[in-house]
């Protein structure tokens, strides 16, 4: 795992270090004021609405009505406390975790296996197999949602978390495979030959060499599928009627329609439900952004 | 022989689970949609028993329904406007953030935030802020500008939607463009500088052409995304307002006429129409624009062979590495 990271970093050399500021270097100059000005404008546009949700929830409803765009004065913590102590929020958080982790594990496991076949085995249908999955990129869940709902109903998976996890795995596969195949292809053949000489079977090679070496790709795929599932709305909307099964996006929508007069509460609920994805992203952002960028750079 | 059998067994065992999932939950539903689409059916029991076979009548209704025409028009407008608005902006911002300066890393992280926040939250937040008594109007009033009814006014609503979409997805476009820019060799710029080319001239003559593959892949992802647009519209405009405000999309039309009206036959037919329109646009785009970048990803084994050959040629030319192929594939994967 270390060596894979190391290799990739080496291959990219300096460009990458400078690019993502992985190494704080005294040489990085201060930019000119115009650059900062436009950057800050861009950042403000991107961040202010998010901050509005988080900070707005520290206000009372009367504060919000009086001055919709103002700052909290005084700061009110009741909204957050109410949400924090409500069982609804925690059960929805748990549901979201179950669904997202299930999806993530499924996507990573299945995509890794089939990508290994596509990348490392020479056989007649390897190209067809890759094309089949790659074509799946063109058809997100929206197109298939109506018949998918009927299919899941026939399998009695309506109102179950499994009914969300399984299709999400299936629809997550194309992207995961497209990311993983180049990773697995880039593992040198010599390594495989050496392993074979040492009496390691192909599957042994898969378990002992490929898994650790493809770790960066696996992490990217895992995080992307986790966040996609965490944010998914349409499939849960179709599939879940029982509000005790709701995931957070459905919960946010239900909460905001039920408490439409209580804006402050809605803001607090919304803000708390977005924080897990934001934390996950902040922790892994170098991996995601770097992995994406690294992938594009080849 | 023994090894060959074993190899076959391994291939089957490793690829079968993914294949079953993919066929079962992606391909079969699409085929089922084609079947259900021929029936007038309320979703109970089986269409052949509880429904009524009506041939192509559903499709006739879809294609003559002015609501669908509107939805199709809005969807295509979103698709085109997204390309026109986000593309140039993303390239400009990428140029900006590709300079070397302190604090660049944190700025790049921050502009990615809207992309990570879910559509539901984005929709909820913006609909609160854009209410006629919301924060945006309050802010405008405080600097002496009149507010507007951003969500319900049919003259404005579409552009409100475009604003929210651009806000949500531009960070992703910028990151992709930056990544593309970093693959351009530094020497080209140095040579151009020696030749006396100014900053903008260098970007126009070097960055833009060499960014081509990245731009084309981004545009493809943006197009596919636009054709599927659902969550944001459904959350901000609700199922019924979207039609009158002029922001309905093909997907909201499908949900409204299919699932909510309990016309599963009709809803499936709409799904098929969306599927065919998406496929037609995607394939046309691939033929016309993406051909060079995505050789073999959609085509069959022959294409694959061709691709291998090209790859080998390229590898010979550049002295090794199948980076190009991996590069494009991962670009597609970006979303």
Predicted pLDDT at A154: 86
| The pLDDT value given to residue B335 | 33
The model's pLDDT over B93-143, given as tens digits with 9 standing for 90+, comes to 888 888 877 777 788 788 888 888 888 888 888 888 888 777 888 888 888
Listed as ranges, residues in chain B with pLDDT below 70 are 1, 239-240, 242, 290-335
- pLDDT score recorded for residue B309: 57
Distance CA B38, CA B54 (A): 6
Alpha carbon distances (Å) from A2 to A6, A9, A113, A179, B20: 6, 11, 22, 20, 34
Residue A2 confidence (pLDDT): 39
Interval A61-76 mean pLDDT: 78
pLDDT higher than threshold 70 for residue A39: yes
Whether residue A12 is predicted with pLDDT greater than 50 in this model: the reply is no
Average of pLDDT values for A38-61?
86
Q: How many whole angstroms separate alpha carbon A66 and alpha carbon A75?
A: 15
Q: For chain A, give the percent of residues with pLDDT over 90.
A: 14
Question: Is the pLDDT at A24 greater than 70, yes or no?
Answer: no
| Complete domains list, chain A, with CATH | 86-297 (1.10.3720.10)
Residue A20 confidence (pLDDT):
45
CB contact under 8 A, A146 and B19: no
CB–CB of A178 and B325 under 8 A? no
Domains of chain B: 54-293 (1.10.3720.10)
Q: Work out the pLDDT band at A168, boundaries 50, 70, 90.
A: very high
- Is the complex ipTM higher than 0.85? no
Query: Would strands B39-40 and B52-53 be described as parallel, antiparallel, or unpaired?
Result: antiparallel
Cβ separation A47–B303 shorter than 8 A? no
Q: Once rounded to an integer, what is the mean pLDDT over residues A192-217?
A: 81
- Contact between B247 and B74 (Cβ < 8 Å): yes
pLDDT at position A218 is 85
A14-40 average pLDDT score: 61
What string of H, E and C letters represents the secondary structure of A143-191?
HHHHHHHHHHHHCCCCCCCHHHHHHHHHHHHHHHHHHHHHHHHCCCHHH
* Residue A92, number of CB atoms within 10 A of its CB: 25
Record the pTM.
0.79
Beta bridge partners of B39: B53
Supply the pLDDT for residue B87. 92
Q: Which pLDDT value is given to residue B311? A: 55
Mean pLDDT of A235-256: 89
What integer pLDDT is reported at residue A291 of this predicted model?
Answer: 56
Question: Å from B143 to nearest chain A CA?
Answer: 12
pLDDT in tens, A263-293: 888 888 888 888 887 887 777 766 666 555 5
Q: Region A76-94: what's the mean pLDDT? A: 87
Report the greatest alpha carbon distance in chain A.
76
CB contact under 8 A, B125 and A50: yes
Q: Is A246 helix (H, G, I), strand (E, B) or coil?
A: coil
**What are the φ/ψ torsions at residue B128 (nearest 5 degrees)?**
-65, -45
Name the B residues in 181-220 with CB < 8 Å from any A CB.
Answer: 182-183, 214
Query: What is the pLDDT, as a whole number, of residue B306?
Result: 53
Min distance B187 CA to chain A CA atoms (Å): 13
Task: Give B234's contacts in chain A (Cβ within 8 Å).
Answer: 233
Q: Do B183 and A45 touch (CB under 8 A)?
A: no
Instruction: Report the pLDDT value the prediction gives residue A105, as an integer from 0 to 100.
Output: 94
What is the Cα–Cα distance from A258 to B140, expressed in whole angstroms? Answer: 29
How many CB pairs (< 8 A) connect A and B?
335
Query: What is residue B52's three-state secondary structure?
Result: strand
| A36 contacts B271? CB cut-off 8 A | no
């Amino acid at each position: 795992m270390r060596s894979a990271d190391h290799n990739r970093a080496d291959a990219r050399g300096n460009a990458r270090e400078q690019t993502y500021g992985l190494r704080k270097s005294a040489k990085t100059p201060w930019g000119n004021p115009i650059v900062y000005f436009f950057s800050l404008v861009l950042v403000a546009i991107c961040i202010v609405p998010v901050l509005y949700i988080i900070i707005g929830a520290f206000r009372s409803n009367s504060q919000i009505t009086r001055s919709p765009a103002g700052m909290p004065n005084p700061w009110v913590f009741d909204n957050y406390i109410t949400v924090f102590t409500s069982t609804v929020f925690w059960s929805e958080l748990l549901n979201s975790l179950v669904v997202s982790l299930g999806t993530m594990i499924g996507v990573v496991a299945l995509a890794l296996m089939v990508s290994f076949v596509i990348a490392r085995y020479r056989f007649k249908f390897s190209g067809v197999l890759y094309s089949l999955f790659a074509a799946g990129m063109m058809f997100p869940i929206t197109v298939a949602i109506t018949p998918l709902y009927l299919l899941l109903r026939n399998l009695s998976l309506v109102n179950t978390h499994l009914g969300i996890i399984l299709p999400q795995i299936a629809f997550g596969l194309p992207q995961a495979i497209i990311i993983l195949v180049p990773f697995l292809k880039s593992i040198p053949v010599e390594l495989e030959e050496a392993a074979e000489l040492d009496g390691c079977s192909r599957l042994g090679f898969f378990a002992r060499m490929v898994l650790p070496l493809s770790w960066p790709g696996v992490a990217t795929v895992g995080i992307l599928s986790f966040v996609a599932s965490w944010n998914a709305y349409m499939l849960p909307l179709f599939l879940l009627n029982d509000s005790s099964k709701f995931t957070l996006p459905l919960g946010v929508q239900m909460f905001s329609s039920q408490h439409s007069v209580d804006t402050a509460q809605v803001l607090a609920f919304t803000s708390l439900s977005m924080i897990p994805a934001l934390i996950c992203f902040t922790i892994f952002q170098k991996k995601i952004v770097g992995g994406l960028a690294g992938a594009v750079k080849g | 022989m023994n090894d060959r059998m074993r190899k076959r067994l391994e291939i089957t065992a490793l690829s079968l689970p993914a294949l079953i999932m993919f066929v079962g939950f992606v391909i079969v539903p699409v085929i089922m949609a084609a079947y259900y689409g021929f029936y007038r059916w309320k979703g109970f029991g089986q269409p052949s028993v509880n429904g009524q076979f009506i041939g192509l009548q559903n499709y006739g209704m879809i294609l003559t329904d002015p609501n669908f025409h509107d939805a199709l028009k809005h969807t295509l407008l979103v698709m085109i406007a997204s390309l026109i608005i986000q593309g140039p902006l993303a390239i400009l911002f990428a140029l900006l953030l590709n300079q070397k300066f302190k604090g660049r890393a944190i700025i790049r992280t921050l502009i990615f935030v809207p992309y990570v926040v879910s559509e539901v939250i984005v929709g909820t937040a913006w609909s609160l802020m854009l209410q006629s008594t919301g924060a945006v109007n309050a802010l405008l009033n405080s600097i002496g500008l009149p507010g507007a009814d951003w969500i319900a006014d049919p003259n404005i609503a579409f552009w409100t939607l475009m604003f929210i979409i651009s806000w949500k997805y531009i960070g992703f476009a910028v990151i992709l463009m930056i990544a593309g820019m970093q693959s351009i060799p530094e020497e080209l710029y140095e040579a151009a500088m020696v030749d006396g080319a100014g900053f903008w001239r260098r970007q126009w003559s070097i960055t833009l052409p060499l960014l081509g593959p990245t731009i084309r892949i981004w545009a493809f992802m943006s197009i596919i995304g636009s054709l599927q647009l659902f969550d944001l519209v459904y959350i901000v405009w609700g199922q019924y307002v979207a039609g009158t405000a002029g922001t309905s999309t093909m997907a909201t039309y499908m949900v409204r006429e299919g699932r909510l009206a309990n016309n599963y036959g009709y809803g499936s037919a709409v799904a098929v129409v969306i599927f065919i329109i998406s496929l037609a646009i995607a394939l046309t785009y691939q033929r016309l624009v993406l051909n060079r970048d995505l050789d073999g990803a959609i085509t069959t084994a022959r294409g694959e062979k061709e691709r291998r050959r090209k790859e080998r040629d390229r590898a010979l030319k550049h002295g090794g590495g199948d980076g190009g192929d991996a590069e494009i594939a991962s670009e597609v994967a970006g979303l």
